[in-house]
Structure 1
């Protein structure tokens, strides 16, 4: 919201399947799940399915990208809130995990994502505020607000 008004933001990209082997989808083993995610002015991102679903383990899969999106969103909100609050973050690393359940019919859903950011602040007097900012970052994160499963946090704050 800017100037008291709701703002909309549109995101345009292209996902192109590159996994045809000539016979298209003639059968489940007749094609690769490879694809390319592209957006103007950005490097292409090689994608595939999770290896459990006949995908290429060397390429990004949608499940990893969802977990990464949640982690990125939290981090970016956190850093902005820290800067506004006078908390000097000198290092930030997250090792997020996501849990997806697959049902017998092949459908499934994520049941949770756990973010585990380790934040290093410049001074010990900043630790308490640095810990509190994770709650506000979670409340603000567009991606976390958009999913229908819990996004949990297990943050740690260190002093440089």
Structure 2
């Protein structure tokens, strides 16, 4: 049996800035979707619903954070594998998108996420599109979050960019 890792968060509503939740849940339109996500020892995260569901567009929503967690997990595995393989990554940027379908009754699910990583690397034998694509393939296979979802995650890496040589 493998190691177990546990994660604890607190989601608190109403948001600390609110007093008593306003009117509470007297109706669908009466209550604020603003809440706070707390993780011990870390800065609070201001959360809300997606604006389509009456949320505050200035706050993070669960759907964005879910897509971000997939991208972060992939990136961290990619960087790990790059370090092991001798590929020196200088920059990693991923413009990730996710699609969620909402059914007529309101229930929904993600149908896909697409990762579009762009990496800048030092020149060397591992600095090829094929070698980097293989690292992305391995990272995807190892990502804990990608392994936990039941929808398609596409990885579409951009061509490798070489870092400017230090003078």
TM-score by length of 1: 0.94
Displacement after TM superposition at 1:22 (Å): 2.9
Show structure 1 runs of 4+ deviating over 6 A. none
Aligned mates of 1:22, 1:75 — CA distance in 2: 40
Aligned mates of 2:40, 2:48 — CA distance in 1: 20
Between Structure 1 and Structure 2, how many residues are aligned? 156
TM-score by length of 2: 0.90
Query: Is 1:133 equivalent to 2:129 in the alignment?
Result: no
Residue 4 of structure 2 corresponds to which residue in structure 1? 8
Displacement after TM superposition at 1:57 (Å): 0.2
Name which of structure 1's ranges 11-20 and 48-57 shifts more when overlaid on structure 2.
11-20
Displacement after TM superposition at 1:124 (Å): 5.3
RMSD (Å), alpha carbons:
1.2
Aligned mates of 2:21, 2:131 — CA distance in 1: 55
Residue 142 of structure 1 corresponds to which residue in structure 2? 144
5+ long unaligned stretches in structure 2: none
Q: Quick check: 1:87–1:129 contact (8 Å CA) kept in 2? A: no
5+ long unaligned stretches in structure 1: none
